[in-house]
Structure 1
Amino acid sequence: MHWYVDVLKKYAVFTGRARRQEYWMFFLVNLIIAIVLSIIGRAIGTMVISWLYSLALFLPGLGVAVRRLHDTGRSGWFVLIGLIPFIGWIILIVFLAQEGRPEPNEHGPNPKYAPAV
């Protein structure tokens, strides 16, 4: 759960690097919460709760994706590849699932080996 909260603390931070574990754990917890809210919304007859949650988590999700791309040595603008139908999402998932660069890059030191702050 701390991976989810850590991403929320960096609400709109698009600089630095994010480990694979940070990104995918945030994605998993976010997906579970979204599914639960969707079920609750259908039960009460309105999807407003789910929409508000999705809107509130848009910037943190985008920020962690950009930081994840930075960890692989790519520009954050590569997140726009996801706008290409079907093939763009596949390419983006491959980029997000790749191991980060072990050496420091222009976006900072490797978060896997960086001391906890």
Structure 2
Amino acid sequence: MNWYVDVLKKYAEFSGRARRTEYWMFVLVSFGVSVVLSIADALLGTSPFIAALYSLAVFIPNLAVAIRRLHDTNRSGWWLLIGLIPFAGAIVLLVFMASEGEPQDNAHGANPKQGLAY
């Protein structure tokens, strides 16, 4: 849950780097919350309202953490636009997001894993 809250604290921080764990935990928790809110919408009869409001609220943090994730792989945030290409774009982005970040410092900042014991 800390990964999710940390991304929300960096609401509109597009610079720097984000580890795979930070990105994927945010995506996982956000997806779970969306599913729960969609079910609540269906039960309350407010169909798309609550889930859509949540999606709108996390749009900027989701965009920011995705750009920081691309920075960790030494790619520009503009690579997110490849997702506009049907099917192939989503596969390319999935590969980029799942790729190991660069172990050394890059143009986007220091390695976020430095100082962590694994």
Normalising by structure 1, we get a TM-score of 0.96
Q: Any gaps of 5 or more consecutive residues in structure 2?
A: none
- Regions of 4+ moved over 4 Å: none
The number of equivalent residue pairs is 115
Kindly tell me: are residues 108 and 114 of structure 1, through their superposed partners in 2, closer, same or farther at Cα, counting changes over 3 Å? farther
Q: Which residue in 1 is equivalent to 2:90?
A: 89
Matching of residue 35 in structure 1 with residue 35 in structure 2: yes
Letter in 2 for 1:86: F
Identical positions, percent: 63
Kindly tell me: are residues 105 and 114 of structure 1, through their superposed partners in 2, closer, same or farther at Cα, counting changes over 3 Å? farther
Letter in 2 for 1:71: D
What value does the CA root-mean-square deviation take over the aligned residues?
0.9
Q: Which residue in 1 is equivalent to 2:54?
A: 53
Letter in 2 for 1:36: V
Alpha-carbon distance in structure 1 between the residues aligned to 2:97 and 2:78? 13
Normalising by structure 2, we get a TM-score of 0.95
Tell me by how many angstroms 1:114 deviates: 4.9
Q: Any gaps of 5 or more consecutive residues in structure 1?
A: none
Tell me by how many angstroms 1:16 deviates: 0.2
Q: Which residue in 2 is equivalent to 1:18?
A: 18
